[in-house]
Amino acid sequence: MTTTDEKTMTIREMCDAYDVTPRTLRFYEAKELLQPIRQGTKRLFTKRDRARLKLILRGKRFGFSLEEIRQLLALYDLGDSQATQIRATYDVAQKHLAGMIVQRDELTAAIDELREQLSWADRMLADMSHPEAAE
Amino acid sequence: MTTTDEKTMTIREMCDAYDVTPRTLRFYEAKELLQPIRQGTKRLFTKRDRARLKLILRGKRFGFSLEEIRQLLALYDLGDSQATQIRATYDVAQKHLAGMIVQRDELTAAIDELREQLSWADRMLADMSHPEAAE
DNA sequence: CGTCACATTTACGTGCACGTCAACTTTGCT
DNA sequence: AGCAAAGTTGACGTGCACGTAAATGTGACG
């Protein structure tokens, strides 16, 4: 069995696939969010890197900082950690989870509010459109 | 009934109430997110300002930029706008709403994933805690 | 009337998340 | 072998969202 299932991607392929710039990927590597392997001087991004990148990009959409995301990524990386380390990371993740649930609930509330405002504006626009005689 | 229900707040009262700095409030005013009235040189924040600040802070938690939030605030301010302006703002808001819904769905998915990871780590921690003789 | 706490303007500084440009190597193709 | 395309490492620049310090104003109180 060859390791060929670990199809690696070049930096450009990654950029095209995930709509990011080379700078961004190198930046993430510098921040230890990604660890592409090096073939000579070039970077080769593995399946693992791609999975992590997806999580990074999603985390960003939720307003997490890269440092916070780094903490989260550690959780998905528990295989090579020790129990103490796991515990710490586990606790961090618990807090994140709680925060995310709060955030979702707030988001749901905000969605409802905005929906109401929109339907209000909708009616308002309807009123303003037809020359207000009678109906 | 007097207009006393329009209790205004000083900058410090605002800071204490919403856990922000004076700098932040002045910054938001400069960006036209808030319009406190001026008593001489000092700022007085109205009920309206407080409502807007709540929205600003919540928007930030969702990862919106101040500029995006400014757009959203305009929607809650339709009373003094014209129809054309309303239309534009309305469309902006529609997009935001759609984005928020996507975001919530993603967030829900992320919550579920993280939950799974946590329960996995949980079992792992359990295994590592009690000395397992078998193999 | 002084002063002392709090507010204001002005302006430069900071951390984050990259963008951009220069100056190389490295690789792929003819 | 030669050359352009693509990748690499610095290093400096940028936009956002404020922080922070300096100088000044203002008003309530003993």
pLDDT in tens, A81-105: 566 666 777 777 888 888 888 888 8
Q: Of residues B21 and B97, which shows the higher confidence score?
A: B21
pTM: 0.71
CB contact under 8 A, A100 and B110: yes
pLDDT in tens, B22-81: 999 999 999 999 999 998 889 999 999 999 999 999 888 888 899 989 988 887 776 555
Confidence class of residue A31 from pLDDT cuts 50, 70 and 90? very high
Whole-number Å distance between alpha carbons of A110 and A102: 12
For nucleic chain C, give residues with Cβ below 7 angstroms from it.
A 21, 23-24, 27, 31, 39-42, 60, 65-67; B 10-12, 22-23, 26, 41-43
Tokens of B82: 């014209």
Tokens of B81: 């706008």
Residues of chain A above pLDDT 70, percent: 79
For chain A, what is the HEC assignment? CCHHHCCCECHHHHHHHHCCCHHHHHHHHHCCCCCCEEECCEEEECHHHHHHHHHHHHHHHCCCCHHHHHHHHHHCCHHHCCHHHHHHHHHHHHHHHHHHHHHHHHHHHHHHHHHHHHHHHHHHHHHHHCCCCCC
**Pick among B117, B120, B122, B127 to test the A interface (most A CBs inside 10 A):** B117
Tokens of A83: 């129990």
**Which residues, in sequence order, are bridge partners of residue B73?**
none
Specify whether the CB–CB gap between A66 and A33 falls below 8 A.
yes
Which chain B positions have a beta carbon within 8 Å of A123's beta carbon? none
